[in-house]
Amino acid sequence: MTAAADPLGRRSIFARPRAETGIWSWVTTVDHKRIGIMYFLTAFTFFIVGGIEALIIRAQLARPAGPEGLIVGPDVYNQIFTMHALTMIFLALMPLGAAFFNYLLPLMIGARDVAFPRLNAFSYWVYLFGGLFLYSSVFASGMPDGGWFNYAPLSTVGADPTGTAAGSLAAAEASHAARMLFYSLGLQILGIASLASAANFIVTILNMRAPGMTLMRLPIFTWMVLITSFLLLFALPVIGVGLWQLMFDVRFGSQFFNPAAGGDPILWQHMFWLFGHPEVYILILPAFGVVSEVIPTFARKPLFGYAAMVFSGIAIGFMGWGVWAHHMFAAGLGPVANSAFALSTMFIAVPTGVKIFNWLGTLWGGHIRFTTPMLFAVGLVAMFTIGGLSGVTHSIVPHTLQQTDTYYVVAHLHYVLFGGSIFGLFAGMYYWFPKVTGRMMNDRLGKAHFWLQFVGFNLTFAPMHIVGLQGMPRRIYRYQAGMGWDFWNMVETIGSFTIALAVLIFIANLITSSRRGEVAGNDPWDARTLEWTTTSPPPVHNFDEIPDVTARDELWHRKYAGPGTEPPVRVPAGGSQDHGEDAAEHHGGPGIHMPDPSYYPALAALGMPIAAYGVMTGGAAMVALLGLGGLIILAGLFGWVLEPSAE
Amino acid sequence: MRGSTPAPRPGSRPRARRAARSLAGWALLAGIALLAVGCGALDERPVQSALDPAGPVARAQDQLWNIVFPIAVGVFVLVQGAIIFAMIRYRSRGDEATPPNQIEGNTRLEVLWTIIPALILAGIAVPTVRTIFVQAAAPEEALEVRVIGKQYFWEFQYEDPATGDTVHTATELHIPTGMPVLLSMESHGIGGEGAADGVIHSFWVPRLAGKQDVVPGHVRPLIIEADEPGEYHGQCAEFCGLSHANMLFTVVAHEPADFDAWLTAEAEPASAEGLEGLAAEGERAFETAGCIGCHAVRGETSEGEPREFLRIGPDLTHLMSRGTFAGGVFETTPENLAAWIADPPGVKPGAQMPDLGLDEETIDALVAYLTTLK
């Protein structure tokens, strides 16, 4: 690349990227839609990786085994279950949410892009490099093996404290320290990505709404994005501090969590769960938002109790900060704290229940069309209800002392995060696929996917309630014969492979439909929100004309006249408010300024893993890598600041 | 709900038939699943089930479950029933002339389904909080046992009522029936007694009580109680490293008189007198091979003086009286002992006992000696 004069006479190291196709157009893109697609593809790939890890876990536990383990030994198994959780939470579910936020948010609020397009690209690249950094551990020390919760002081003592398994104490200590640093630094990098996008989405929602789109006319999905973003903004710094302390304990010999030196392992638990519980809502609220869009469309009714849905979301957002110690009931906090957190845990079920009932209210009296997205959305309502109910059983503390750290909790969390988040996100994938690609997904394959996944999911996770109460702890790489758990574990394993089959069908559907699917048109579902007013896929600038918003379900009201509860009547196409189809005549083209692509977000992001490797090494290598990484970050940020967003 | 659509027209449209068929399929599947449940349940009886409480602590916890579980099932049936009903009753037949009424909400319903769950939860809160405080209260009279969690076995310490000395054992916790037992639990590290570099374990014997984490740097109490004599299985419930799954233990409950007899016997030192042949050789090897550096055998002397023991590994004074060893993973048989001594980390991953590289004769001698520790 050569230095090039730009039209305004400024000089820059790099010529401004101009590619509109090919790999460089993707590396340098700041278009929220392309970034959304990249988020989706990356996150879905990690979802597959996390799923393969889940299959290894289930294969390992299919039958009882001796201390050598059925398929892998405990060292590999501990890495696998740790990475399964880290992958699904940080590399699959959160970024899948981000994929939806990115693609849809500007379209839903009638904007041309997010508030900070380059920051958006930066978030993606930081996420990608953070994920690759975390997984690069497999080629170095082995992957983190302390569980996603990574409790102190196991995080400093290690799983093999005398080195009898590793062969020598030095080898065990070195590999353990490196694994913990991959955990700490990897999550810190990923946290930066989430923080940046949270700030971006908040500003976008508050500042970039189309004229007439008041907060109480926001599509409910957008509300959930807003709440999730605030949760991210406040939760990530908490875990950030904890990760920083862990890094210093492991790498530089500080003693934050070492009881022998006045530290306290319980401190880590508080920090982790003060982040960890809001994190649960970070994972579930976007899926709630998705189904709150999907169900009204296919019931052909507005969302029942919109305001109640908004405020229950906000209530969950606030109350989510007051329940963290229910993860620590067995830690010994005492009866007063346990009672307080029991009560808060019970009452957070109230706003969650309000959501369930409002979805039911939306279905009630509708004309329900059983499309694939609708099946997944209703699947969420049904499955999340089970997760919510088992959540309430966690609040009866004395009995929770039986449940905690058993497969009962594994069942609960998967009913929430798989039956909830993943079902909801699949609903969203089927629902918005036509908008993103311009083609419909195959409905028959979609339904096969749903039913197989539904059956497989329940076969896998429902029996975990039973074996958990029958005394099977979590995070064990083997169990003895004669415990009475054999039958259900085999059922669970069969179920998990059924889920894998269902996901394979989805992938096949995704690939074939994106090439040969039926052409969708602007509004294939007879939907209700603004993203369906523009073409599928939307043009780079989203809308030829920024829409004027006069109602909550803007598109619906353009299509059907008649307010309130009277049966609505279809407005003839081209009617008074229908400026979707002939908008190009009025406007578009030369008058619209879109931000230009840029190399700098990706460049700045690239510095982070390099600096992180620096922390893990020592001596000259440490100085060199930290210096190089720091310089790259600085160069990226300088280039970014000095470059106008659009020329 | 007001303002619903007109009643559905009767008739057997293909869509409806399909829905009915898929429903029938589901019923069949559910039937098969139930059958499987039955067979599975008959197949084997879970040995450490929280659903099968065997003492007052676990029973009080189970009673809360017995209150909440039926409520949860009720809500489950209600919500799933409403979903299925709505899906069938309000399914589109594809021929509606106009969209359904655009109902935006209903304040009375919102208030109702906010208040009713809140009231139910408040109802659950009362027994919950009461049980929390009842179970947190220290019992008036209890047997006290000190419990030490280590990577990866449980050590138990009793006070000898005759001498006041501490009696150490491992992997089997013996208790009397019909009285509360107060466990004072600590986590110690690999450095032996008092070492602070332990990790968090969780003591859990589901049929007697819910679990309690054992946190390094703290002493955590837990009360357990068994009604009937018998063996109650338990295991570590907080992830603690490579052999977390191999940190098992058994609670053996005796009638109080039998318990006293057990404790008296357990307090006895090993009878090292009169060892002959291979066993005597093994006793010497126990010293020369370094075993005694980590394991205590009470009664062993050093040049005629009582020994101080480091107690890094389990106390072996009455090893053969315990059904299992090495964290409850292996039955205490001569063959298993020989295999264990030959390569501890090889048969139990992450075991802190090193492979000492002993030859077969030494191992045979050691096993011969260990089997005298009754």
Mutation for testing the A interface, residue in B215, B247, B356 having most A CBs under 10 Å: B215
Each residue's pLDDT tens digit, A306-363: 999 999 999 999 999 999 999 999 999 999 999 999 999 999 999 999 999 999 999 9
The whole-angstrom distance between B214's CA and the closest CA on chain A is 7
pLDDT number for residue A586:
40
Q: How far apart are CA A455 and CA B311, in angstroms?
A: 52
* pLDDT mean over B336-354: 94
Q: Is B96 on the interface with A (CB under 8 A)?
A: yes
* pLDDT mean over A161-176: 88
pLDDT number for residue A174:
92
* pLDDT mean over B311-327: 94
Closest Cα in chain B to A73? B349
pLDDT number for residue A162:
84
pLDDT number for residue A336:
97
Each residue's pLDDT tens digit, A342-353: 999 999 999 999
pLDDT number for residue B194:
63
* pLDDT mean over B273-290: 90
Q: Do B218 and A332 touch (CB under 8 A)?
A: yes
In this structure, what DSSP letter does residue A441 have?
A: P
Kindly write down the DSSP assignment for every residue of B150-187, as one continuous string. Answer: ETTEEEEEEE-TTT--EEEEESEEEEETTS-EEEEEEE
State whether residue B201 is helix, strand or coil: strand
CA-based end-to-end distance of chain B: 75
Closest Cα in chain B to A377? B83
Poorest-pLDDT segment among A431-440, A593-602, B165-174, B245-254: A593-602
Residues of A in contact with B246 (CB under 8 A): 67
Identify which has the larger pLDDT, A592 or A384.
Answer: A384
Kindly write down the DSSP assignment for every residue of A302-358, as one continuous string. Answer: PPTTHHHHHHHHHHHHHHGGG-GGGG-GGG---HHHHHHHHHHHHHTHHHHHHHHHH
Each residue's pLDDT tens digit, A174-198: 999 999 999 999 999 999 999 999 9
Q: Is A285 on the interface with B (CB under 8 A)?
A: no
Each residue's pLDDT tens digit, A421-455: 999 999 999 999 999 999 999 999 999 999 999 99
Each residue's pLDDT tens digit, B60-114: 999 999 999 999 999 999 999 999 999 999 999 988 888 999 999 999 999 999 9
Segment of B7-11, B205-209, B289-293 carrying the highest mean pLDDT = B205-209
* pLDDT mean over B117-121: 96
How confident is the prediction for chain B on average, in pLDDT? Answer: 89
pLDDT number for residue B12:
43
Mutation for testing the A interface, residue in B66, B103, B185, B219 having most A CBs under 10 Å: B103
pLDDT number for residue B274:
77
Closest Cα in chain A to B71? A389
Q: Is A259 on the interface with B (CB under 8 A)?
A: yes
User: Residue A61: which region, alpha, beta or left (left: phi > 0; alpha: psi -120 to 50)?
Assistant: alpha
Q: Do B199 and A154 touch (CB under 8 A)?
A: yes
Q: Do B124 and A299 touch (CB under 8 A)?
A: no
In this structure, what DSSP letter does residue B91 have?
A: B
Q: Residue B301 CB: number of other CB atoms within 10 A?
A: 10
pLDDT number for residue A588:
42
pLDDT number for residue A644:
80
Residues of B in contact with A569 (CB under 8 A): 98
B168 neighbors B156 (Cβ within 8 angstroms)? yes
Q: Is B355 on the interface with A (CB under 8 A)?
A: yes
Specify the residue for token string 């059956």: A455
Poorest-pLDDT segment among A54-58, A136-140, A366-370, A561-565: A561-565
Q: Do B79 and A360 touch (CB under 8 A)?
A: yes
Closest Cα in chain B to A160? B350
Nearest to B1 among A331, A364, A487 (CB): A364
pLDDT number for residue B41:
54
The whole-angstrom distance between B151's CA and the closest CA on chain A is 9
Q: pLDDT band at A576, cuts 50/70/90? A: very low
Q: How far apart are CA A100 and CA A226, in angstroms?
A: 13
Extract the tokens encoding B337: 């002992």
ipTM, two decimals, is 0.91
* pLDDT mean over A497-511: 98
A477 neighbors A73 (Cβ within 8 angstroms)? yes
Pairing of strands B172-176, B248-254: parallel
Identify which has the larger pLDDT, A260 or A310.
Answer: A310
Each residue's pLDDT tens digit, B153-178: 999 999 999 999 999 999 999 999 99
Is A577 a residue whose pLDDT tops 60? Answer: no
No. of helices (H) and no. of strands (E), chain A: 22, 4
Pairing of strands B305-306, B209-214: unpaired
Poorest-pLDDT segment among A45-54, A252-261, B324-333: A252-261
Kindly write down the DSSP assignment for every residue of B247-295, as one continuous string. Answer: -EEEEEEE-HHHHHHHHHHHHSPP--TT--HHHHHHHHHHHHTSGGGT-
Q: How far apart are CA A611 and CA A619, in angstroms?
A: 14
Specify the residue for token string 């006041």: B164
* pLDDT mean over B326-344: 96
Q: Is B11 on the interface with A (CB under 8 A)?
A: no
Q: Do B96 and A367 touch (CB under 8 A)?
A: yes
**Cis before A237 (ω within 30):** no
State whether residue B220 is helix, strand or coil: strand
* pLDDT mean over B112-126: 95
The whole-angstrom distance between A512's CA and the closest CA on chain B is 26
Q: How far apart are CA A310 and CA A358, in angstroms?
A: 11
Torsion over CA of A536, A534, A290 and A205, rounded to 10 degrees?
130
Poorest-pLDDT segment among A240-244, A468-472, A607-611, B42-46: B42-46
Residues of A in contact with B218 (CB under 8 A): 259, 266, 332
Q: Is B235 on the interface with A (CB under 8 A)?
A: yes
Q: pLDDT band at A583, cuts 50/70/90? A: very low
The whole-angstrom distance between A555's CA and the closest CA on chain B is 14
Each residue's pLDDT tens digit, B209-243: 999 999 998 999 999 999 999 999 999 999 999 99
Extract the tokens encoding B156: 């138990």
Closest Cα in chain A to B61? A399
The whole-angstrom distance between B283's CA and the closest CA on chain A is 25
Each residue's pLDDT tens digit, A15-36: 778 778 888 999 999 999 999 9
Is B49 a residue whose pLDDT tops 80? Answer: yes
pLDDT number for residue B40:
55
Quote the pTM value: 0.92
Helices A423-437 and A443-469 cross at an angle (nearest 10°) of 160
Q: pLDDT band at A566, cuts 50/70/90? A: low
Kindly write down the DSSP assignment for every residue of A6-24, as one continuous string. Answer: -TTS-EESSPPP---SSHH
Who contacts A194 (Cβ-Cβ below 8 Å, separation ≥6)? Answer: A94, A98, A123, A127, A232, A236
CA distances from A222 to A11, A91, A191, A204, A622 (A): 40, 22, 22, 10, 43
Q: Is B246 on the interface with A (CB under 8 A)?
A: yes
Who contacts B269 (Cβ-Cβ below 8 Å, separation ≥6)? Answer: B298, B299, B317
Q: Do B117 and A350 touch (CB under 8 A)?
A: yes
Is A573 a residue whose pLDDT tops 60? Answer: no
Q: How far apart are CA A570 and CA A557, in angstroms?
A: 9
Identify which has the larger pLDDT, A35 or B10.
Answer: A35
pLDDT number for residue B305:
80
Helix (H) or strand (E) holding A272: helix A265-299
